[in-house]
C-alpha cells in the first residue's frame, strides 16, 4: 500500500483539503476497517487519503437526541453508538451493531464508514434503511443537503456522494411515539461471528396498544445490488394486528419482501439458499 495522508483537524481545514484535491485521486479514511483491506487488494497509484480520525467537530463525532429524533455523527464508532442510551431503545439498531464483526473492529468502525462503503451487506446501513434514516451531506461550500438513506445507495459500493461532498451525520426520525415495537435484525452467515451476511433482514414495526401496525420499516441486505427498503411489504403490514396475523398474511408479507430480492450465487452460498433463508426470516419475525 502506498498513499499520502492529510489529516485535517477542523471542518474548515477538511473542506479546504477536499477543495484543493478535486483533481486528485483521494479517499476518506475514518476507522479504516474497510479501506485498508480494500487497498491491500487493489493498490491505487498516487492515492491521497484524507484522514478523518483527528477531526474535532461535534457535528461529525457526536450522537445527540434532537426534538424529532436522534442524530449520529458519521465518525461515531459502533462502540459509541452501542453505549448511547437513546439508541439502546431501538433493537434493530443494537442487534445490527452487535452482529458486526468483533468488539475490536466495532471500536474502530464508524457508522459513516458503514454507510459510505455502500456494501449490500452493511449491517448497520440495513438497520438505518429500515428506520427511514436521513443522510446529512456537507459540501466544500459549507452547504448541506439531506437525502433519505433509501436513495443514498446507487449500486454495489456506489453512492450519490459527489467528489466535493462528505457524509456528516445520519438522522433517525422520532421512534418513541409507538406504544410498543416489533424490532430486530436477523443475519444469516456461514459462521456465528466475524461473518459478512449471506442474507439479512432489518425490521422496525411500530404498534399501537392493540398490536396494530402504525408504522413499518423493513429492509433487506446481501440479496440485491444494494440494501433495499421493501415498500410494498411495509404497506401490506400497515394497519394489521400482528397478534392475530393469519398464515396466509405472513406468507404474503414474505412474498412481498422477496420481490425486492435478486440474490446471486457465489462461493459462499447459492441464490436458492439466500432466497429460502430470507423467506424464512420474514416469517419468523411474527413468532416473537
Ligand atoms: C474483519 C472484519 C469484519 C467485518 N465484519 C463486518 C460485518 O459483520 N458487518 C458489516 O456491516 N461490516 C463489517 N466489516 C466492514 C467494516 O468494519 C464496516 O463497514 C465499518 O463500519 C466501516 O467503517 P470505517 O470507519 O472503518 O470505514 P473506512 O474503512 O474508514 O471507510 C469506508 C469507506 O467509506 C468512506 N468514508 C468513510 N467515512 C466517510 C464519510 N464521513 N463521508 C464519506 N465517505 C466516507 C471511505 O472513503 C471508504 O471508502 C468488517 C470489516 C472487517 C475488517
Distances (CA, A) of 250 to 23, 184, 188, 281: 52, 17, 20, 11
Atom 38 (ligand 1) nearest CA: 113
Atom 28 (ligand 1) nearest CA: 32
pLDDT of residue 178: 64
Does the pLDDT of residue 193 top 90, yes or no?
no
Q: What is the mean pLDDT of the chain?
A: 94
> Using one digit for the tens of pLDDT, what is the confidence trace for 29-40?
999 999 999 999
Domains present along the chain, CATH in parentheses? 3-51 (no CATH), 58-173 (3.30.465.10), 180-287 (3.30.390.50)
User: How many beta carbons lie within 10 A of that of residue 139, not counting itself?
Assistant: 18
> Using one digit for the tens of pLDDT, what is the confidence trace for 38-53?
999 988 889 999 999 9
pLDDT band at 84 (very low <50, low <70, confident <90, very high): very high
* Cα 50 to ligand 1 centre (Å): 15
Q: Greater confidence, 231 or 174?
A: 231
pLDDT of residue 190: 73
- The grid coordinates listed for 98 are 452487535
Amino acid at each position: 500500500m502506498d498513499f499520502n495522508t492529510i489529516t485535517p483537524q477542523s471542518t474548515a481545514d477538511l473542506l479546504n483539503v477536499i477543495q484543493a484535491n478535486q483533481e486528485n485521486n483521494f479517499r476518506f479514511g475514518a476507522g479504516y476497517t474497510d479501506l485498508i483491506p480494500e487497498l491491500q487488494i487493489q493498490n491505487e497509484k498516487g492515492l491521497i487519503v484524507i484522514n478523518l480520525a483527528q477531526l474535532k467537530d461535534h457535528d461529525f463525532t457526536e450522537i445527540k437526541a434532537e426534538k424529532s429524533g436522534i442524530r449520529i455523527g458519521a465518525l461515531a464508532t459502533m462502540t459509541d453508538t452501542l453505549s448511547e442510551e437513546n439508541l439502546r431503545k431501538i433493537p434493530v439498531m443494537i442487534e445490527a451493531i452487535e452482529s458486526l464483526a468483533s468488539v475490536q473492529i466495532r471500536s474502530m468502525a464508524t457508522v459513516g464508514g458503514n454507510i459510505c462503503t455502500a456494501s449490500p451487506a452493511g449491517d448497520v446501513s440495513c438497520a438505518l434503511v429500515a428506520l427511514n434514516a436521513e443522510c446529512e451531506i456537507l459540501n466544500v461550500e459549507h452547504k448541506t443537503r439531506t437525502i433519505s438513506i433509501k436513495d443514498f445507495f446507487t449500486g454495489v459500493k456506489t453512492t450519490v456522494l459527489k467528489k466535493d461532498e462528505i457524509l456528516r451525520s445520519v438522522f433517525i426520525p422520532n421512534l418513541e411515539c409507538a406504544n410498543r415495537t416489533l424490532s430486530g435484525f436477523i443475519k444469516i452467515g456461514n459462521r456465528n461471528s466475524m461473518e459478512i451476511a449471506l442474507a439479512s433482514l432489518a425490521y422496525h414495526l411500530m404498534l399501537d396498544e392493540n398490536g396494530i401496525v402504525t408504522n413499518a420499516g423493513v429492509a433487506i441486505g446481501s440479496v440485491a445490488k444494494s440494501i433495499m427498503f421493501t415498500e410494498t411489504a411495509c404497506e401490506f403490514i400497515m394497519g394489521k394486528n400482528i397478534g392475530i396475523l393469519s398464515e396466509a398474511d405472513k406468507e404474503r408479507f414474505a412474498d412481498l419482501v422477496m420481490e425486492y430480492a435478486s440474490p446471486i450465487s457465489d462461493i459462499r452460498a447459492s441464490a436458492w439458499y439466500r432466497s429460502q433463508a430470507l423467506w424464512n426470516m420474514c416469517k419468523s419475525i411474527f413468532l416473537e
